[in-house]
Structure 1
Amino acid sequence: MSTRATQHFCARESLAMGDPLAGSAAHAERNLLLSWPRSKWRRSLRRASDMPDDVAAQLEAIAEAGRRVNLIHRRDQPGEHHRLYLMPENRRYEMPRAELPAVLDALQRGEPLTRWEMGPPQGSLLLCCTHGKKDKCCAKFGYAAYKALEAAVAKRALPFEVWESTHLGGCRLAASAVAFPALRKYGRIATEDVLPLLEAEMADRPYLPCYRGDSRLSPVQQCAQVAALEWLASCGIHADVTVAPSSKGHEPRQDWLQVRWRSAGDEGRLAVRCEPRMLRRYDTCADLAVGPPAASQVWVATQVEVAEGRAARVTSCS
């Protein structure tokens, strides 16, 4: 009797070893998202097998100038007719492939793209990484999450455009997604997370069970941000938070970070203790064959204290 070998995935290994989501949200603020059929994607996040050389060179130059470039895909988008989004500008354009070099040239020169512009997106863009040529976790878990998100949006006519995307970072955290223009980054999206995630995004707040943090913050600040949001949510408070930089530099042995929060009816200040942990994790499925690389540092929130607040009910949460 033959026995099928157990198939291993870096995402399952990451979850099993307690690799935290918070602190993993690094992502460029300036983005160019370009539709291209997924069947043509290559391992690079911005290359396709049938992409003209001049277009590939222009996209590389745009990326080198500081704007992240991702390819995106949706079945209803014609393969030879492209959709292009600029974020955080929240601008949307369409053009046939023959005109794409002119569009990218105008963008590089800072010239208006009025000729190709459509109206702004009718709601948020939700990109789900399905880049199987990069990592098999994104093919397995990412595509399942994409289909579930797409189905939920279509069934309920929700204000989202859901797209498949090339590599979004953190293959071990699949299924991964990014919401634009808010630039909220998510990981480990399971079927049961789909509807509450969409509901949270419609309310313009992060879905905390899958939230990785604000990409504009350092990893330790993201750790404090997520811990503060979770603590406040346990008190029934949905708030905006501002995290002060670490008082001990970018990589202290441990630190208390100050977090100010403001809700519709109250405000206050929390102190969050974050401590580093070292994990010998598998960052991608390719690591599974050779063993994990050198240990990586992650951050874990170990304590939240009330530093200041007018609401008596806040002081009782822990």
Structure 2
Amino acid sequence: MCAEAARTRGDPLAGTAPYGGVWILIEYRAGWPPNGFDGLDLDPGTKKLVFSAAQAVRARILLIRRHGRRTAEGAGRWAVLRHEKSGAHRQRWGTWRRDEDLADIVRALAEPGEPGLPPVVLVCAHGRHDICCSVRGRPVGRALSERWPDLVWECTHVGGDRFAANVVVAPDGVYYGALDADSSVTTVAEHLVGRVHARHLRGYTDLVPAQQAAVAALLGRFGPAGRHDYTVVATTREHDRWRIHVAGRPPHPPACHVEVRSHRTPPRRLTCRGLSMASTVVYEVTSIRVD
């Protein structure tokens, strides 16, 4: 299975979070198609409207549901979660019964949203996309739901099947991977009190992969930090090498210069459902200098 193979190979987590700052969540309690929202049998006009609006702002559409037994009756919820460049987090929530009600999402994308709401914890449990997401994701979804029932949702594919179980905290824009039930509770508990650890961190979604790897290295070297305690202030690239200047808030180092080297791996099977081999780009931190 892809997650077991990735652990055996030692595939690095840092630098693997997809880029983006807007999430559209749609509660859908029936079975999830392998391709998620794209595969739903919804009103074509409404579906096209939501998809086009999402594309315009590079939003990711995820289907969500609570863990455990569920009924298809009653209104479902939807949300637009936004992580702004300033670090502000905003959310807009609504409900839907008819397909056409989902058009409200388009209007929500044009609104600023409400600040100050607690983050949403998303656990990929999309077994029809990749079996590892179900086998490893469902136990994590159960453990986290028992601890934070109001914050936690299972969701469709978030990327990186081989890193299952994957957890995304949004709109913080933080990806964690290679979790199990115990480590997920510890990791999320620390996140919620403002302590991001390097061990299971895949990256911050407002940074490109090399920058994600640089910040993860600083967390590993100097200990956990808040989501915005490190800021990338400058990045230069020469071929496969990156120089990244990172500013830290006290008590973290105020100025760090991180060098990162990228290289491509040999072809390998990256998902359980994948029919072909593919290579990936890995970002390796080669030095850290503190001013």
TM range (shorter): 0.7 to 0.9
For the pair shown, the structure with the greater C-alpha radius of gyration is 1
Query: In the alignment, which residue of structure 2 is the partner of 1:140?
Result: 135
Q: 1:55 aligns with which of 39, 46, 52?
A: 46
Query: In the alignment, which residue of structure 1 is the partner of 2:247?
Result: 260
Amino acid at match of 1:20: P
Cα RMSD, aligned residues only: 2.8
Amino acid at match of 1:167: H
Distance in 1, matches of 2:225 and 2:136, equals 32
> Are 2:231 and 1:242 aligned?
yes
Decide which moves more: 140-149 or 205-214.
205-214
The secondary structure found in structure 2 opposite 1:271 is strand
Residue 262 (structure 1) shift:
1.0
Q: Can you give the 5+ residue segments of structure 2 that lack an aligned partner in the other structure?
A: 83-89
Distance in 1, matches of 2:143 and 2:207, equals 30
Query: In the alignment, which residue of structure 2 is the partner of 1:304?
Result: 288
Query: In the alignment, which residue of structure 1 is the partner of 2:264?
Result: 278
Distance in 2, matches of 1:27 and 1:191, equals 26
Residue 258 (structure 1) shift:
2.1
Residue 72 (structure 1) shift:
0.6
Distance in 1, matches of 2:153 and 2:225, equals 31
The secondary structure found in structure 1 opposite 2:237 is coil
Amino acid at match of 2:45: D
Decide which moves more: 21-30 or 198-207.
198-207
Query: In the alignment, which residue of structure 1 is the partner of 2:118?
Result: 123
Cα 1:102–1:304 change in 2 (3 A) is closer
Within-5 A mapping of 1:1-318: 9-37=1-29, 39-47=30-38, 49-66=40-57, 67-74=59-66, 75=69, 79-88=73-82, 89-97=90-98, 100-104=101-105, 106-107=107-108, 110=110, 123-154=118-149, 160-233=150-223, 240-248=229-237, 252-263=239-250, 265=251, 267-280=253-266, 281-287=268-274, 290=276, 292-293=277-278, 295-306=279-290, 308=291
Amino acid at match of 2:235: S
Q: Percent identity?
A: 25
Distance in 2, matches of 1:121 and 1:147, equals 26
Amino acid at match of 1:72: I
* Counterpart contact for 1:82–1:97, Cα < 8 Å: no
Distance in 1, matches of 2:106 and 2:165, equals 34
Amino acid at match of 2:186: P
The secondary structure found in structure 2 opposite 1:204 is coil
Q: Can you give the 5+ residue segments of structure 1 that lack an aligned partner in the other structure?
A: 1-8, 155-159, 309-318
Give me the TM-score of the superposition, normalised by structure 2.
0.84
Distance in 2, matches of 1:49 and 1:83, equals 16
Amino acid at match of 2:81: M
Decide which moves more: 20-29 or 252-261.
252-261
Distance in 1, matches of 2:28 and 2:108, equals 18
The number of equivalent residue pairs is 279
Residue 50 (structure 1) shift:
4.6
Give me the TM-score of the superposition, normalised by structure 1.
0.78
Cα 1:105–1:299 change in 2 (3 A) is closer
The secondary structure found in structure 2 opposite 1:229 is helix
Cα 1:191–1:302 change in 2 (3 A) is farther
Distance in 2, matches of 1:180 and 1:254, equals 30
CA-to-partner distance for each residue in 1:265-299, whole Å, 9 max, x for gaps?
Answer: 46422222322232233221123x54x22x32110
Distance in 1, matches of 2:135 and 2:9, equals 20
Amino acid at match of 1:84: W
Residue 96 (structure 1) shift:
2.3
